[in-house]
Amino acid sequence: MDSSLNKAVEQFTGILVSQLARAEAMEADKGFADYSAMDKLIIGICGGDGIGPIITSQSERVLRKLLAEDTAAGRVEFRGIDSLTIENRAREGKAIPARTLAKLKECHVILKGPTTTPREGDPWPNIESANVAMRKELDLFANVRPVKVPPQGIDWVFFRENTEGAYAAGSLGVNVGNALAVDFTIATHPGCERIIRLAFEHARKTGRKRVSVVTKANVIKATDGKFLTIAREMAKEYPEIEMDDWYVDIFAAKLIDEKRRRDFSVVVLPNLYGDIITDEAAEFQGGVGTAGSANIGRKYAMFEAIHGSAPRMVEEGRAQYADPCSMLRASVLLLDHIGRAEQARRLEKALDFCMFEEKKLVITGRDTGCTCARFADYVVSAL
Ligand code: IPM
Ligand code: MG
């Protein structure tokens, strides 16, 4: 074997060994953190970079307002973490610098602004995405992304697997000389089980009647095949819920079909399909700038926009026109997650009112619409 082939095989072995260890650790870890048992809940506010700090600061302001009583009583503490910028990450050559990671781990839940993800050819070193690294480091395995457009009867909740699939070893692909590049996609049994379980449990708890499983199991046979097989088996434990399965291509098409798309409710899918489909889904609601997501793990949870840091908006001097709704929707999910349902409903209703009902102000991402801060004022006035 020539040396590049040897190196590739070695790297592949390393991935297999570490993924098996991860699967084992997952089997051992089953419970969820109980926030109600904690004397003080620490909420980290991490602005990120690009438009991140602008939209995150508006959400922080709203959260502080809604949680003022809890904060005054010492039940909730806000902690700013402003070091997760692309400049710092590039300087340290790390997706998340060690000191920042330690600070993040001192928080129970985190509100995180978008962070720039470099790729080959960018002015930054091609380090791993901070989102992806945080999801892995804190084992935030469920990416829950609701999308709703009440006037069109759209009310979807996506459960995107968040630590496996094409992302698990996304930065560990191998090049064999110049001729061949190979990436890996990964599915572990406990990894599939825990996300599919969460989707079914959510459907059961919220009285939703359908769980759609989206894969490409006819082509990606090992990993997607495993995902689908586990879902089919688990569906038997939920006889009141109908499970259907879709290939991701036709599912993407059916989301556009006005007559069919209303029938979807809970959707569970591997990482990369979840990434793509949730951007498409958010477009019906007003674009990715309007959609928030919860990244849930057994110990930690992180709440963020579904979009990136929009460096182009910053370069073109339009950052102040960024849509705060993605982070405000993420804040609704955060409030629900920490057991503040009443505050969550207040914020959700105010957002629905401003985005779908009164629509007195609109955000266009440029000076044809209102600024991020003005729109946040509008939401605050509707609380
Ligand atoms: C998302 C984003 C991230 C992802 C990027 C920024 C790495 O697109 O949260 O959907 O691909 O998961
Ligand atoms: Mg995405």
Beta bridge partners of 80: 45
pLDDT at 254: 97
Q: For ligand 1, say whether the CB of 310 is within 6 Å of any of its atoms.
A: no
pLDDT at 377: 97
Number of domains in the chain: 1
**Does the residue 369 lie in any domain?**
yes
State in Å: Cα 127 to ligand 1 middle.
Answer: 14
State in Å: Cα 306 to ligand 1 middle.
Answer: 7
DSSP state letter for 356:
I
Identify whether the C-beta of residue 187 lies closer than 8 Å to the C-beta of residue 226.
yes
pLDDT at 116: 92
Residue nearest to atom 7 of ligand 1 (CA): 129
User: Which ligand approaches the C-alpha of residue 143 most closely?
Assistant: 1
**Does the residue 132 lie in any domain?**
yes
Domain extent for 46: 31-140+297-383
Rounded Cα distance between 268 and 199, Å, is 6
**Does the residue 270 lie in any domain?**
no
Q: Which atom of ligand 1 is nearest to the CA of 304?
A: 9
- The tens digit of pLDDT for each residue in 266-300 reads 999 999 999 999 999 999 998 888 899 999 999 99
**Does the residue 248 lie in any domain?**
no
Query: Strand pairing of 76-81 and 41-46?
Result: parallel
Residue nearest to atom 4 of ligand 1 (CA): 275
State in Å: Cα 134 to ligand 1 middle.
Answer: 11
- Give which of 287, 280, 327 is closest to 303, Cα–Cα: 327
Other Cβ atoms less than 10 A from the Cβ of 325: the count is 27
State in Å: Cα 308 to ligand 1 middle.
Answer: 7
pLDDT at 1: 57
Q: For ligand 1, say whether the CB of 161 is within 6 Å of any of its atoms.
A: no
Looking at the chain, which runs of residues are DSSP E strands?
41-46, 76-81, 109-112, 142-149, 154-161, 174-176, 180-182, 210-215, 242-247, 266-269, 292-296, 301-305
User: Which ligand approaches the C-alpha of residue 117 most closely?
Assistant: 1
pLDDT at 342: 97
Q: Which atom of ligand 1 is nearest to the CA of 115?
A: 6
Q: For ligand 1, say whether the CB of 57 is within 6 Å of any of its atoms.
A: no
Q: For ligand 1, say whether the CB of 56 is within 6 Å of any of its atoms.
A: no
Rounded Cα distance between 215 and 252, Å, is 11
User: What contacts 247, CB < 8 A, 6 or more positions away?
Assistant: 214, 215, 216, 217, 218
- The tens digit of pLDDT for each residue in 123-158 reads 888 988 899 999 999 999 999 999 999 889 999 999
User: Which ligand approaches the C-alpha of residue 52 most closely?
Assistant: 1
pLDDT at 30: 81
Rounded Cα distance between 110 and 108, Å, is 7
Q: 350: which 2 tokens?
A: 């105010």
User: Which ligand approaches the C-alpha of residue 140 most closely?
Assistant: 1
**Does the residue 108 lie in any domain?**
yes
Q: For ligand 1, say whether the CB of 131 is within 6 Å of any of its atoms.
A: yes
Identify whether the C-beta of residue 158 lies closer than 8 Å to the C-beta of residue 147.
yes
pLDDT at 31: 85
Q: 280: which 2 tokens?
A: 């498409």
Q: For ligand 1, say whether the CB of 272 is within 6 Å of any of its atoms.
A: no
User: Tens-of-pLDDT digits for all 383 residues of the chain?
Assistant: 578 899 999 999 999 999 999 999 998 878 888 887 889 999 999 999 999 999 999 999 999 999 999 999 999 999 999 999 999 999 999 999 999 999 999 999 999 999 999 888 888 889 888 999 999 999 999 999 999 998 899 999 999 999 999 999 988 899 998 999 999 999 999 999 999 999 999 999 999 999 999 999 999 999 999 999 999 999 999 999 999 999 999 999 999 999 999 999 999 999 999 999 999 999 999 888 889 999 999 999 999 998 999 999 999 999 999 999 999 999 999 999 999 999 999 999 999 999 989 999 999 999 999 999 999 999 999 99
State in Å: Cα 274 to ligand 1 middle.
Answer: 10
Q: Which CATH number fits the domain that encloses residue 309?
A: 3.40.718.10
- The tens digit of pLDDT for each residue in 302-324 reads 999 989 999 999 999 999 999 99
Full-model pTM: 0.93
**Does the residue 98 lie in any domain?**
yes
State in Å: Cα 161 to ligand 1 middle.
Answer: 12
Hey, which of 131, 269, 279, 303 would you mutate to test ligand 1's pocket, going by the most ligand atoms within 8 Å of its Cβ?
131
pLDDT at 20: 96
**Does the residue 333 lie in any domain?**
yes
User: Which ligand approaches the C-alpha of residue 330 most closely?
Assistant: 1
**Does the residue 147 lie in any domain?**
no
